[in-house]
Amino acid sequence: MVQARAIRQLKNKWNTLATTSKLPDELLAEVFVQLNLSYHVDQLQWRTVGRYQWITVCQVCSHWRSVAMNTPRLWRDITVTRSVEWMRELLTRSRQAPLRVRVAVADTTVESARLVLRELARIEELAIGVSAETFDILRALDAPAPLLRSLNIEALYQRSPRPRFEIPSLQILAHSVANLLEQLDLLRCPFPWSIPVPFTALTHFKVVGTGEDRPPMAHIIMALACLTQLESLDLEGVLPTLPADATSIPSPPNVVSLPRLKRLRLEGAAIECADMLNRLLFPGSVHLALECDSMRGVADLIACIRARLPVIKQPCIIAFEEDFAESRTHVWLSEDNGPINDATYPLKVTFKNSPAPSTATPAWWNPVMFCSHIPLSTVRSVHLSGILPPSYYDGQAHQWLQVFSQMVTLEVLSAEGLAAYRVPYMLRVALNEGGPPCLQTVRRVELEDVVFGTWETFERGEPDAFTEELVESLVARLQDIPPLEAISIRRSKYVDRRCVERLERFVGRVEWDGIVNAEPGDEDYDLNYF
């Protein structure tokens, strides 16, 4: 015993000489907190495996353990597991720190969930997933929650046939949080629209319905009228369905003003989104995201957007992306140059492609139809991703050419991935047979993440098919218009100085990042397909 104690003392003394031991306890505690947060990942919301792996820091040495055990906020992020004893230990270690709780309530976690929810008075963020069998646990929310700022309720997969989910009375959910709750997300849970919403301080409101039992528009408007502080509104599967023979949206009897709104997302048919937009007043700086599963009413939709967002009146940038995995096509519009993402583009429209072959609309048709209703004469930059647009099929190509022929100020053509294989065709094709190229004003072409050829041809030093296709198009353009000012090549494969020098003969300059990626792979495409 004496010997063991002496060894521990020597080890402790040795640990004090380590560089990390010289860190102030406050800084060391902050490092632990950040490590904890790294395991707090939204897309793994209900996953518990590995959630507490960060606790290994407590096993490094006695000093680290002491710092961790005396940092209550380190233990406040609780993902509920089946271990009631572990949940009780976390609640003890967190002392009185405000809690952030995630719990998927199943048969094995009911008791743990009930234990944690007894601490509702100090929970500030709560994400709870329930099934039909465990839905009743929401009644635990009938208690004071003075710190609650964020509430997420999600209906999870159920073994039994799906019954109708009923949310406990909003009066229960609002028990002492009416003026404090800032974020409310209800996923696949019907929202009781007919009851006046008591959460007047909400800044973020999201409802994802099942598509069944959609509420009347009057109830939605009544609820939104109470939420004047909203900054983000997301409605999916809840917009009222208009009659099949409706050719236009009705005149709204009531309009709701949302003066603080920054982000708005709507999902439904184009005519349903238009009907909703027509009933809302919000700042022109709003970032608008629309997901349309039908193009019925697209003219009304664009008219509503035009009346509310300046971007659709004089767009500067337009981006097209075909998402194969999700069977969706995206169109972004912006007034200014910038990266293509939801945060920088004020308007994003997503078209859902039908999975049924008998009723499927070609992926290219919806964006073409959408663009036919918006002014394109001010567009200076186009970005393409996926395999849009156009193909060598006459019908599709002609429709796209009509779109691009309106872009009389287009200067930059950018393509990423498979879409780059469309570029040679786009550069040389004409709207009318024998006429000049459609994209006459383009001065710069940007190519990113492009596979120029095959590993075999690259190793032999032979010209790659893509470069030759591009050169052929550049030569054809020289018959009618001056050469391009620049071609930019970034993050591409099987391209080297030989390709660059070949292109430099036909353009002002080639801006290549100098990266030679010649690793063999399976990216060998038949350019005739594209």
| Model confidence pLDDT, tens digit, residues 443-479 | 999 999 999 888 888 888 888 889 999 999 999 888 8
Residue 416 lies in a domain: no
Count: domains in the chain: 2
**If you average pLDDT over residues 55-67, what whole number do you get?**
69
Q: Give the integer Cα–Cα distance in Å for 198 and 52.
A: 36
List the CATH number of the domain containing 94: 3.80.10
Residue 471: predicted pLDDT: 94
130 backbone dihedrals φ, ψ, rounded to 5°? -135, 155
Residue 201: predicted pLDDT: 86
135 and 225 fall within a common domain: yes
* Token pair recorded at residue 300: 């009304």
Residue of higher predicted confidence among 371 and 511: 511
- CB burial of residue 252 (10 Å; 0-12, 13-18, 19+): middle
Q: Give the integer Cα–Cα distance in Å for 404 and 45.
A: 43
Residue 34 lies in a domain: yes
pLDDT at 48 over 80: no
- Asked if 292 and 351 count as a contact pair (C-beta separation under 8 A), the reply is yes
Task: Out of 253-267, 323-337, 388-402, 478-492, pick the least confident.
Answer: 388-402
Q: Which of 20, 53, 75 is the last residue of a domain?
A: 75
Residue 86 lies in a domain: yes
Residue 461: predicted pLDDT: 82
Identity of the residue numbered 136: D
Task: Out of 16-25, 391-400, 497-506, pick the least confident.
Answer: 16-25
Residue 36 lies in a domain: yes
Q: Would the pTM count as exceeding 0.85?
A: no
Q: Name the band, by pLDDT with cuts 50, 70 and 90, for residue 501.
A: very high
Which residues fall within 8 angstroms of residue 198, CB to CB, at 6 or more apart?
A: 170, 171, 174, 178, 226
DSSP letter string, 313-364: TS-SEEEEEEETTTTEEEEEEESS----STTT-SEEEEEEPPS-TTTPPPTT
pLDDT at 508 over 90: yes
Query: Quick check: helix, strand or coil at residue 243?
Result: coil
Q: Which of 222, 240, 258 is the last residue of a domain?
A: 240
137 backbone dihedrals φ, ψ, rounded to 5°? -65, -20
Q: Name the band, by pLDDT with cuts 50, 70 and 90, for residue 527.
A: very low
68 and 193 fall within a common domain: no
Q: Which of 57, 75, 93 is the last residue of a domain?
A: 75
Residue of higher predicted confidence among 164 and 433: 433
50 and 84 fall within a common domain: no
pLDDT at 21 over 60: no
Residue 306 lies in a domain: no
50 and 171 fall within a common domain: no
88 and 45 fall within a common domain: no
Q: Name the band, by pLDDT with cuts 50, 70 and 90, for residue 350.
A: very high
**If you average pLDDT over residues 264-276, what whole number do you get?**
93
Which residues fall within 8 angstroms of residue 215, CB to CB, at 6 or more apart?
A: 191, 193, 194, 238, 240
| Model confidence pLDDT, tens digit, residues 390-445 | 555 556 777 888 888 899 999 999 999 988 988 998 888 877 777 778 889 999 99
- Asked if 487 and 510 count as a contact pair (C-beta separation under 8 A), the reply is yes
Query: Quick check: helix, strand or coil at residue 151?
Result: strand
pLDDT at 320 over 50: yes
Residue 5: predicted pLDDT: 64
Query: Angle CA(50)–CA(54)–CA(55) in degrees, nearest 5?
Result: 105
Q: Name the band, by pLDDT with cuts 50, 70 and 90, for residue 263.
A: very high
pLDDT at 14 over 70: no
Residue 238: predicted pLDDT: 92
Which of 81-85, 296-300, 422-426, 441-445 shows the highest mean pLDDT?
Answer: 441-445
**If you average pLDDT over residues 51-59, what whole number do you get?**
67
Question: Quick one: what percent of the chain has pLDDT higher than 70?
Answer: 77
524 backbone dihedrals φ, ψ, rounded to 5°? -90, 110
Residue 43: predicted pLDDT: 42
In terms of residue numbers, what domain contains 9? 1-75
Residue 528: predicted pLDDT: 43
118 and 91 fall within a common domain: yes
- Asked if 128 and 162 count as a contact pair (C-beta separation under 8 A), the reply is no
Residue 105: predicted pLDDT: 86
Residue 454: predicted pLDDT: 84
Q: Give the integer Cα–Cα distance in Å for 148 and 137.
A: 17
446 - beta bridge partners?
Answer: 414, 488
pLDDT at 18 over 80: no
97 and 206 fall within a common domain: yes
224 and 191 fall within a common domain: yes
Residue 363: predicted pLDDT: 67
Nearest-CA neighbor of 425 among 517, 530, 337?
A: 530
- Asked if 111 and 88 count as a contact pair (C-beta separation under 8 A), the reply is no
pLDDT at 362 over 50: yes
127 and 204 fall within a common domain: yes
Residue 44: predicted pLDDT: 47
Per the prediction, the chain carries an average pLDDT of 81
71 and 118 fall within a common domain: no
Residue 281: predicted pLDDT: 93
| Model confidence pLDDT, tens digit, residues 172-199 | 565 555 567 899 998 887 788 877 777 8
Residue 258 lies in a domain: no
7 and 55 fall within a common domain: yes
